[in-house]
Amino acid sequence: MNEEFEIDQLQTNFDFKGFLMKLLSYWPLFLISLVIGFSIAYYINVRKLPVYQMSNMISIKDDQNPFFTTNTSLTFNWGGTTDKVNTAMVTLKTRSHNEKVVEHLQYYLSYLIEGEYQFENAYGQTPFKVEVDTSKFQILNNLIKIKVVDEDSYLLSATFEERNYPTQNYSTKEKGTIAMPAEEFERTFQFGQKLVLPFFSGTIVRSEKKLQVEKPYFIKFQNFDGVVARFRNINIQPESQGASVLNLRLTGNNKAELVDYLNATVQILGEDVLERKNLFATRTIQFIDSTLAIKSGELSEVQNELEAFRNASSVYDLSSEGQEISSKLTLLDSRKAEIEQQIDYYNTLEEYLISRTDYSNVPAPSVAGITEASIVSGVSRIVTLAEERNKLQYSFREGAPVFADIDRQINAVKAVLLENITSSMALKNREIREINSDISKAESEIRRLPKEQQQLLSIQRRYDLSNQAYNLFLAKRSEAGLVKAANVSDVMVIDPAKDIGGGQVGPNNQLNYIMAAVFGTFIPFVFVFLIVFFDNKINTTQEIARLSPIPILGVIGKSRKNDNLIVLHNPKSAVAESFRSIRSSLQFMYKKRGIEGTKTVLVTSSVSGEGKTFCSINIASVFALSEKKTVLLGLDLRKPKIFDDFNIKNKSGVVNYLINDASLESIVQKTKIGHLDIITSGPIPPNPSELILSDRMSELMEELSTQYDYIVIDSPPLALVSDAMELVKFADATMYVVRQNYSKKGMLSIINDKYKNGEIKHVSIVLNYFQHKAKYGYGYGYGYGYGYGNYNHGYYENKSKTGLLNKILRRK
């Protein structure tokens, strides 16, 4: 029935002391939770592989070529040291750079050995190395077992199920699948023997490590992109703010693997930086080499023509006048060729800037002998921006704002550069016209010479021009080669990665234990908090005092007997003593109110099951044992109970009297307790409320008051029916029974309202079925009858059950 009630009134203040005692009462739960937490932490710690951190230190320099001159300006400063440092930091984390390193070290192949709890990384510990055939597909994520047989051979084995296995070609990075039958592959091979198997292709060769015969090793191919992603987590930090010295750190389970990766990533970075630094020199050399091939052919052709003319005409040298004219024309032709070369460069550069979008392949102006500062700086700037844009493509998607900003800068530099080209070409064209005028005058002088001299001069002139152009490009080729040979990488290794012992940074076992302690405490704490938060049952007298203004009469302990006659059968028990205490409290109340003669006690509760009848029987018993004539009146007409405990009949009772079917003497029944009589309720009537409201009820109470010292009324539950309210007027004191961990807190609102409205007066609360345990809030009672702490011996019996553990301890 108590499910019909909900909480109407909650406690306004949180009971911290009660909650603390509640926590303490659940100490086994905390202990179990902590044991589980620490067990899990230990399980994790012993199975975790050690984590190491290796590091190296590099410096990003700004080394200028010692052979740098205005004529050998084949390299550019890519934005200064700061820009180089930022570029290096970005590059070391890019996918493309780490792909080069992983491919160079073949880290997509894992070497493993069986550890105590799991497979462990055996990189650098195996007596063999695997040379992977990257042109073939390799099976992924499947263990291949290798066991050394002797100095020359090994046993290779693998287990397969009948299914499709993923594969990858590490040359093209293409992925595929291979269907393998269910089999146990096992075969012996020679070291150095090239293997071409369905699942593996490569060569296994001896390493410098000592052979351990019959010890199993394992290799496993992994997804290339996954391995690259793992190594992109390299930590890069400048030594200080704005410094050009970088610290590289990498964590993992194998120190040798980390050392090789750190050194390899720096090595490949340095090679890439040097390659970019030599970019102009390399492309210029390629351009000059192609031009030299053309000029060499032209020179050879003119030289053959000159020799043929001399042999045919027997004219070998020019006259003094012809030599003078030839020298003048040679100077003019040389100057003209130089200017034309510059004009050709301007035309090429202009077309390149207009028609291309990638400006990283622009040749250096020095190739054409151009030293004009505006052109050289403009080309340098636009190439720098183009290279920066290309590098950012590895980190950002096309269309990102950073590309728009660089494109705006490139367009601005390009506009200025095109204007400079236009003005420079105008000057060069005017200079060409002046030279052509001088050449025309010299050629008019040639026509006065003899015909053979004119032909010889013409051939000689073309020969000198070709030879001069060839020598010029040959000199440029030497200059470019010198610049390239003299360039060094801007990446300098200050402190290479090296295993010098130590370096372990994990696992953090102490942190795991701390987390175990935190969660081992937190989880039961939350559990207990939720129990307290959602607990709507009354557990302590402190809760009653907070929830109701009605005074507390006493506390009755939990009875472990099935017998309700506790006072009679266990007079020295704590429960019996609590009823004696309540008797004393009632007598004090009667005396304080000045009640003389017969005294009436009404025992009620909110709902059935709270111990109302139990309390009625025993409070009546303690009055009777004090040699006071007492009657227990069963007025719970709907659900009579008290007759079973006294082994009496319920055929005739209060109902019979109220309907004038029996006299008072006929319904009173004697008990085995002296001075205690009982009037049972009798048969269940159809109209109990009307019977209680009848005049016969008043007559009954008046007649009983003339015969007894105490009248104890066992009434129906107050919250379920109205009968109890009709009986209140006959009671000098009302005991409202509340059962621990059964009665809901909201039930008190009913009695509170009636007490506040004056419908019930002289009411007190009795806490029944109280257990002396901290999990109900406190480790002590309210002070009314349920024990006297450590001073209880000699006052009443304590018949608590002795457990097996207590028996063993006593024997010890």
* Residue pLDDT, tens place only, 660-691: 999 999 999 998 888 999 999 889 888 888 88
Query: Does 746 or 314 have the greater pLDDT score?
Result: 746
- CATH numeric code, 541-787: 3.40.50.300
Is a pLDDT exceeding 90 seen at residue 254?
Answer: yes
Q: What is the pLDDT of residue 315?
A: 52
* Mean pLDDT, the chain, integer: 81
- How does residue 339 score in pLDDT terms, banded at 50, 70 and 90? confident
Name the pLDDT band for 551 (thresholds 50, 70, 90): very high
Give the confidence band of 450 by pLDDT, cuts at 50, 70, 90: low
Per the CB < 8 A criterion, the answer to whether 280 and 72 are in contact is no
Number of helices followed by number of strands (H, E) in the chain: 23, 25
Confidence at residue 25, expressed as pLDDT on a 0 to 100 scale: 82
CA nearest neighbour of 286 among 363, 215, 360, 366: 363
Spatial distance between the Cα atoms of 416 and 425, rounded to a whole number of angstroms: 14
> Which of the given ranges, 10-24, 500-514, 666-680, has the highest pLDDT on average?
666-680
- Alpha-carbon distances, residue 26 vs 20, 527, 529, 533 (angstroms): 10, 10, 11, 15
Mean pLDDT of the 365-385 span = 78
H/E element, 600: strand 599-605
pLDDT at 77: 41
- Rounded CA gap, 446 and 441, in Å? 9
Name the residue with higher pLDDT: 561 or 317.
Answer: 561
DSSP assignment of 316-376 equals -S--HHHHHHHHHHHHHHHHHHHHHHHHHHHHHHHHHHHH-S--TTPPPGGGGT---HHHH
Q: pLDDT tens digits, residue range 202-248?
A: 999 999 888 888 899 999 999 999 999 999 999 999 888 777 899 99
In degrees, to the nearest 5, what angle opens at C-alpha 691 toward C-alphas 689 and 692?
A: 65
| pLDDT at res. 600 | 95
Confidence of residue 477 (pLDDT cuts 50, 70, 90): confident
Judged against a pLDDT cut of 60, whether residue 638 lies above it is answered with: yes
Mention every residue, 6+ apart, whose C-beta is less than 8 A from residue 167: 137, 138, 139, 140, 175, 176, 177, 178, 199
Give CA separation, 157 vs 109, 144, 611, in Å: 17, 6, 78
Poorest-confidence range of 92-101, 248-257, 637-646, 749-758?
637-646
- Identify the residue whose tokens are 């025993």: 618
pLDDT at position 351 is: 81
Q: Is 689 helix (H, G, I), strand (E, B) or coil?
A: helix
Average pLDDT score over residue span 120-139: 94
Instruction: State the pLDDT at residue 290.
Output: 77
Share of the chain above pLDDT 70, in %: 81
pLDDT score for 9: 41
- Whether the per-residue pLDDT at 499 is higher than 60: the answer is yes
Burial of 655: CB neighbours in 10 Å, binned 0-12, 13-18, 19+ = buried
Q: Among 146-150, 592-596, 785-789, which is the least confidently predicted range? A: 785-789
At 342 the pLDDT is 82
Range with the lowest mean pLDDT among 28-37, 181-190, 306-315, 395-404?
A: 306-315
Q: What is the pLDDT of residues 346-362, one digit of tens each?
A: 888 888 788 766 666 66
Residue 792 has pLDDT above 70, yes or no: no
* The predicted structure's pLDDT at residue 486: 64
The structure tokens listed for 493 are 């290794």
Give the burial class of 172: count Cβ atoms within 10 A of its Cβ; 0-12 exposed, 13-18 middle, 19 or more buried: exposed
pLDDT at 704: 93
pLDDT of residue 774 exceeding 60, the answer is no
Given CA atoms 791, 793, 798, 802 in this order, what sign does their dihedral have? positive
pLDDT digits (tens, 9 = 90+) for 57-88: 999 876 555 444 444 444 444 344 556 788 88
Least confident of 35-44, 381-390, 411-420: 381-390
Report which of residues 736 and 463 the model is more confident about.
Answer: 736
- Over range 473-495, report the average pLDDT: 75
Identify the band that residue 446 occupies on the pLDDT scale cut at 50, 70 and 90.
Answer: low
**Residue 812 confidence (pLDDT) above 50:** no
pLDDT of residue 449: 64
pLDDT value at residue 267: 93
Residue 256 contacts residue 499 (beta carbons within 8 Å): yes
CA angle, 494 then 499 then 504, to 5°: 115
Neighbours of 722 (CB within 10 A): 13
Lowest-confidence region among 154-158, 545-549, 644-648 = 644-648
- Every domain of the chain and the residues it spans: 2-48+507-534, 109-222, 320-448, 541-787
Least trusted range by pLDDT, from 76-85, 111-120, 287-296, 701-710: 76-85
What confidence tier does 6 reach under pLDDT thresholds 50, 70, 90? very low
Which pLDDT value is given to residue 64?
53
